[in-house]
């Protein structure tokens, strides 16, 4: 009996953990539970699929230039640990998921110590938005790219990096576990009551920067609409600080945890107030109209403002080339402005319906309804390895 395939996966953020878990499950379906084993780094979902991580990936969830500089030594140390893990486990292939700064360092170390190890990057840096030079850097560091956007390939193939479009796994979000009416009953929210859900991000730095203006907005909305019900789905990576902040609010708000309650809250939402990120696509899939807010550190923002080559930050806005959902960024991300945009949607059902319809159209442009991305990624990985199971 041949030894099982050994795959190394490295993810450092919640979205990467989701993609890694989906890929792991797809590979197990193709190879059988005894046909593949996994090593590397991931979060709760990858752990549930059988990965044992040497440390908590949340310490690498870093956003912003200043934060990156402060965390540099930790990032380098953890990248060294990933390389040491690869030396011990001798994987057949390594898959590095998103998280540009960390996974680039891991890739460089893997290639330096094992030049023949196939290294795959899953999710491309957004060179179409900023810093196009990253395409050439990546081409020198990894052997293959699995991209989630249809418009990625030309940027990387022209610098010699083979690229396979596998689709965005977020577009395959399973909402079958959502039960918005059951959630309303459990939280003692009437079926007719308007619900605002607040999603302030999955990184601690996002909570620190985005939560204050979100809190200001919610306070203004609650003062004008005492019957407004507020639900805060907390990401597992920041649940402790989110619950601590919400406990100090002068009005009642419901913090929910776990995927099922998060999906139910999205379905129950009259309007969502969301931090920019993967969650905006999830909300669109759930049929929730939203207002998007985001803040970066001032130094990071000043630098990125000079580098960004797109007018939009929300993926479905980029696909639509329009502000389907309003984006309030940096100074515009303040309580009164956020409250004003949310109120427009709370008070106008026709505006909500029009936004949901436009979000649906944008999701189609993003590739909704295509092949399952996890299965496509598994097939691509096996083809890279020349396995007959592909």
Digit-coded pLDDT (tens) for 246-296:
999 999 999 999 999 999 999 999 999 999 988 999 999 999 999 999 988
* Integer Cα distance of 167 and 96 in angstroms: 16
Mean pLDDT over the full length of the chain: 90
Whether residue 67 has pLDDT greater than 80: no
The pLDDT value recorded for residue 151 is 78
Give the rounded percent of residues in the chain with a pLDDT score beyond 70: 92
> Residue 189: pLDDT band by 50, 70, 90 thresholds?
very high
Out of 66-70, 237-241, 293-297, 349-353, least confident range: 66-70
300: exposed, middle or buried (C-beta count within 10 Å: 0-12, 13-18, 19+)? middle
User: What's the CATH code, domain 5-167+371-385?
Assistant: 3.40.50.2000
The pLDDT value recorded for residue 382 is 96
Positions of CATH 3.40.50.2000 in the chain: 5-167+371-385, 180-366
The pLDDT value recorded for residue 195 is 98
The pLDDT value recorded for residue 94 is 98
The pLDDT value recorded for residue 277 is 87
Mean pLDDT of 355-373: 90
* Integer Cα distance of 13 and 21 in angstroms: 12
Say if residues 65 and 299 touch (Cβ distance below 8 Å).
yes
* Integer Cα distance of 160 and 142 in angstroms: 11
Beta bridge partners of residue 272, listed in sequence order: 197, 290
Cα of 124 vs its chain's centroid, Å = 13
Q: Can you give the pTM of this predicted structure?
A: 0.74
> Residue 103: pLDDT band by 50, 70, 90 thresholds?
very high
* Helix, coil or strand: residue 271: strand
Digit-coded pLDDT (tens) for 16-56:
998 999 999 999 999 998 999 999 999 989 999 999 998 88
Out of 21-30, 55-64, 308-317, least confident range: 55-64
CATH 3.50.20.10 fits 180-366, yes or no: no
Higher pLDDT, 371 or 388: 371
Whether residue 357 has pLDDT greater than 90: yes
The pLDDT value recorded for residue 304 is 61
Mean pLDDT of 185-192: 96
The tokens for 191 are 């079926």
Whether residue 166 has pLDDT greater than 80: yes
Give residue for tokens 């390594």: 94
């Amino acid at each position: 009996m041949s030894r099982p395939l050994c795959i190394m996966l490295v993810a450092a953020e919640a979205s990467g953990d989701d993609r890694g878990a989906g890929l792991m499950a797809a590979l197990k379906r193709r190879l059988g539970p005894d046909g593949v084993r996994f090593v590397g780094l991931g979060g709760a979902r990858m752990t549930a699929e059988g990965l044992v991580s040497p440390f908590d990936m949340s310490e690498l969830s870093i956003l912003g230039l200043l934060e990156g500089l402060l965390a540099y030594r930790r990032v380098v140390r953890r990248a060294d640990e990933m390389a040491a893990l690869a030396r011990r486990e001798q994987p057949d292939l390594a898959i590095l998921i998103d998280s540009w700064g960390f996974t680039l360092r891991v890739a460089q170390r893997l290639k330096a110590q094992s030049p023949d190890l196939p290294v795959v990057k899953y999710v491309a840096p957004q060179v179409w938005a900023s810093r196009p030079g990253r395409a050439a850097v990546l081409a020198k560091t990894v052997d293959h790219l699995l991209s989630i956007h249809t418009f990625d390939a030309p940027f990387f193939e022209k610098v010699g990096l083979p690229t396979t479009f596998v689709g965005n796994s977020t577009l395959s979000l399973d909402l079958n576990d959502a039960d918005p009416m059951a959630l309303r009953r459990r939280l003692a929210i009437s079926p007719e009551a308007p619900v605002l859900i607040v999603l302030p991000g999955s990184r601690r730095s996002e909570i620190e920067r985005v939560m204050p203006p979100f809190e200001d907005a919610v306070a203004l909305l609650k003062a004008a609409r005492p019957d407004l019900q507020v639900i805060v789905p907390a990401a597992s990576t920041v649940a402790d600080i989110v619950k601590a902040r919400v406990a100090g609010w002068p009005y009642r708000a419901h913090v929910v945890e776990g995927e099922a309650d998060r999906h139910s809250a999205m379905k129950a939402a009259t309007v969502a107030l969301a931090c920019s990120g993967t969650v905006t696509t999830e909300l669109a899939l759930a049929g929730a109209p939203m207002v998007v807010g985001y803040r970066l550190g001032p130094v990071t923002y000043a630098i990125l403002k000079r580098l960004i080559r797109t007018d939009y930050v929300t993926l479905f806005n980029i696909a639509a080339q329009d502000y389907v959902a309003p984006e309030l960024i940096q100074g515009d991300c303040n309580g009164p402005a956020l409250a004003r945009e949310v109120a427009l949607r709370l008070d106008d059902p026709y505006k909500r319906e029009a936004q949901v319809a436009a979000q649906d159209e944008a999701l189609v442009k993003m590739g909704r309804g295509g092949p399952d991305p996890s299965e496509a990624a598994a097939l691509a990985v096996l083809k890279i390895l020349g396995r007959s199971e592909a």
